[in-house]
Structure 1
């Protein structure tokens, strides 16, 4: 049984006196259905669950009349044993992207207020055009991701007090005990290879077999391609798939900025920008935008035409590569992809921590992998897969671009690489 932080968010939502229907959004197979089922069983007397993909006939319930009593009566006739008691029943509308009328009905459940409603879907950003009356202002949205590194550590049997023990080194900026450091780096490499998709993590817990892990990851990737074929419109099918398959090639380049020419020679944003947005809306990729100046506020000076693309789950990125990539990562030897993979995992960790992703590049000569707001200042982040503590690019940022603080994440212990430049182990990204 995998522990997930989002369960606390669900409990906080339940305890609100005046709550809106909760819209739980996230990529396919990040554990949305599992967590809602578990939450309902622990917190409600009655639970009614409708899955619009598995039971397509249930979509008819939401045709026509949006009166809540009318909808509830239809559900009770269609799902024997359903019980609706105000304040004691949770209604779960799963895979709601397959029933646009059900999404419209969320407004009426919000206005009615008698029943707690959670709606969930993996492609909620995709089919908004099919929703006749989008319930703006009538839902509370929560995004769910695959397991973050801390949740992964829980799954591996690492107690919370041990994680807090590691955080103590972070807080005090002191060198991590070498035995602890080496074990944490081993867990970190495992997390890169396995990723955070719940079924993949559970497969590893049950079998400790990386071949079965890879098989489960590739089944998920196949499901993603099936979603593209099923939900992307017309020519977007081939274009979204081409963008998706280009991600490893993009990350292997010396210049990490996303290049449409890697997808198709001489192609540009006009042809493929919508396809990339489709992948983002489906929860498959993250965008990392280039800053025009490395200063706060980031949002105001980001160039939306210049960006990098990362997979939201690094384990799935590894699964796209050849069969030996798992062993190479675990053995700390991956050639041209190594730096890109470590960038991807740090970007994934930052995004799960709530950071929007930004980087900085100056004339292709100076690049900083990430910028985050940390302690209310613009903080430069450099990611290195080696133990090299030198930080020439970081030093240049501080000396020439009015940046006051930098952190180098590396295969190294805690330390410093110059004035205002901290060196931290890669796994410390979870505390930033």
Structure 2
């Protein structure tokens, strides 16, 4: 099943460069990189060759080193092996799973300079960074990130594109949705939270007439793939990656949600986990959220190295990671969440969902807490802090996530008092319809991707 993906527009923009750069699409396993590139190749080129470096023979790999200085011979061999006629400036060559064969990535510099064809590389960063130590990364390579399907893409896949247009219109006008449509949007959002945005999972969910059990089976296959990939990495830090990967649901179910290194492996500390976070973040299995120490300054300039939250790249995967199969089925977890009746872990799922939606919209994630020495507790806790990234007119946009319909705004109000001059808009993301209270914009979670 082929879904409409927003990244297609970025591919069209790149194609208009007329071969001046190769394109590298980075993303976690199973987010749909290969599928969208093949669809793009079929629609936008007269012919294409897809070279899957996870499957090709050593003989074909050898061509890329033996004939790196003889591109005429290389192209002739590829055309004959794949039975495809390449046409100058009208054909695309795809390097799929390029992380498996870094020599091909290094050759991109010369392929782009040759100028005959266009080149797209796809790969999960699970191995890309580890496999580039001895090669020159081509400067003629543009990189873009691909994420799981966002909520808008999910709605379109479910046949509800008009609803997404209506949601955008209400957001821009700062008005609530009609009550019935708000309830419909929240129902779809709960489905999205349960199923997630992995295209293969969404596909089986639709084809099985919304069978959560079938969707859960595919999600567990993907989680197993991630675990298998972790077992292939450098043994020096493999055990720490596995340990952090395994306790992600437990971390997110706690109030603070941040990683306490000593709780992962007894006696461990932050410096030991530098490569662990580097690997998990670059593999895009997790969305990293760092504490900003001074909200008066752009978050990226003062992000903490030791106060970190890790959200799973896909909330549907997180749900399957958090519960075993028997727990999900025996306790009817899917049904309870769908009917908005599950209180256990609901905050964990909601906050992870918001992190996922913000990341897919291009935001780097930061949070802020302030410890009050007199009260011996945090008196300000901001779940997410977005920035306009301006150096001259810096503004920040604090966000609090509320999974329940009853809540207080003390923390956000206190934050407004202290940092008011730097604040653009304040947001609360809650299950209720859009409203504005005391200059705080309260939006339903399905509008998060529009921030």
Q: Distance in 1 between matches of 2:266 and 2:309?
A: 18
Residues 284-330 of structure 1 deviation map (CA, whole Å, 9 limit, x = unaligned):
01111111122342211222322111011111001112224433321
| More off after superposition, 134-143 vs 96-105 | 134-143
- Identify the residue that residue 30 of structure 1 maps to in structure 2: 31
Cα distance 1:184–1:82, how it changes in 2: closer, same or farther (>3 A)?
same
Work out whether residues 381 and 408 of structure 1, in 8 Å CA contact, stay in contact via their aligned partners in 2.
yes
* Contact preservation (8 Å) 1:126, 1:281: no
Matches within 5 A, 1:325-336: 325-336=333-344
Matching residue of 2:374? none
Q: 1-side partners of 2:309 and 2:82: how far apart?
A: 50
2:408 maps to 1:407: no
Equivalents in 2 of 1:296, 1:340: separation in Å? Answer: 29
C-alpha distance after superposition, 1:142-163 (max 9, x if no partner) = 111110111011011012x432
Q: Distance in 2 between matches of 1:326 and 1:187?
A: 13
- With normalisation by structure 1, the TM-score equals 0.94
Check conservation: 2:97, 2:123, Cα contact below 8 A. Answer: yes
| Alpha-carbon separation, structure 2, partners of 1:262 and 1:411 | 33
Q: Residues of 1 paired with 2:414 and 2:82: CA distance? A: 68
Note the residue ranges of structure 2 that are not aligned, 5 or more in a row: 372-376
Q: CA deviation at 1:259?
A: 1.5
Q: Which residue of 2 aligns with 1:318?
A: 319
Correspondence 1:431 to 2:450: yes
1 CA distance for matches of 2:345 and 2:200?
Answer: 25
**Structure 1 317/234 Cα, relative in aligned 2: closer, same or farther at 3 Å?**
same
Is the Cα contact below 8 Å between 2:100 and 2:127 reproduced in 1?
A: no
> In the alignment, what sits opposite 2:404?
386
Please give the secondary structure, in 2, of the residue aligned with 1:262.
Answer: helix
Q: Which residue of 1 is the match for residue 252 of structure 2?
A: 251
Deviation at 1:80, TM superposition (A): 3.9
Q: Distance between the aligned counterparts of 1:143 and 1:249, measured in 2? A: 28
Map 1:80-229 onto structure 2 (within 5 A).
80-123=82-125, 126-130=128-132, 132-159=134-161, 161-207=162-208, 208-229=210-231
Q: Tell me how far apart the structure 1 counterparts of residues 413 and 214 of structure 2 sit (CA, whole Å).
A: 44
Kindly indicate whether the alpha-carbon contact (under 8 Å) linking 1:65 and 1:71 is maintained by their aligned counterparts in 2. yes
Cα distance 1:329–1:235, how it changes in 2: closer, same or farther (>3 A)?
A: farther
Alpha-carbon distance, 1:132 to partner: 3.1
Query: Once structures 1 and 2 are overlaid, which stretch shifts more, 328-337 or 420-429?
Result: 328-337
Is 1:377 the counterpart of 2:391? The answer is: no
1:361, CA displacement in angstroms?
0.7
Residue in 1 that maps onto 2:261: 260
Corresponding residue for residue 73 of structure 1: 76
In 1, are the aligned partners of 2:175 and 2:435 still within 8 Å (CA)?
yes
Aligned position for 2:361: 353
Q: How many residues are aligned here? A: 428
CA displacement at 1:124 relative to structure 2: 6.1
Q: 1:104–1:132: 8 Å Cα contact kept in structure 2?
A: no
Change (3 A) 1:124 1:14: farther
Residue 341 of structure 1 and its aligned partner are, at CA, apart by 1.4
Question: 1:257 and 1:169, CA in 2 relative to 1: closer, same or farther beyond 3 A?
Answer: same
What residue ranges of structure 1 are gaps of 5+ in the alignment? none
CA distance in structure 1 between the aligned counterparts of 2:312 and 2:292, rounded to whole angstroms:
20
Q: Distance in 1 between matches of 2:271 and 2:443?
A: 41
**Distance across 1 between alignment mates of 2:409 and 2:395:** 19
Q: Given the superposition, is the C-alpha separation of residues 189 and 216 from structure 1 closer, same or farther in structure 2, using an over 3 Å criterion? A: same
In structure 2, relative to structure 1, the CA distance for the partners of 1:149 and 1:296 (3 Å cut) is: farther
Once the 2 structures are TM-superposed, how far is the Cα of residue 373 of structure 1 from its aligned partner? 2.7
Q: Deviations over 1:254-311 (max 9, x none)?
A: 2222112232122112333312221111110111111112234221122232211101
Q: Does structure 2 conserve the Cα–Cα contact (< 8 Å) formed by 1:349 and 1:429?
A: yes
TM-score (norm 2): 0.90
Stretches (4+) displaced over 6 A: none
Contact 1:126 1:278 (8 Å CA) reproduced = no
Q: 1:149 & 1:204 partners in 2: Cα distance?
A: 15
Greater Cα shift, 384-393 or 329-338: 329-338
Q: Counterparts of 1:344 and 1:371 in 2: how far apart (Å)? A: 15
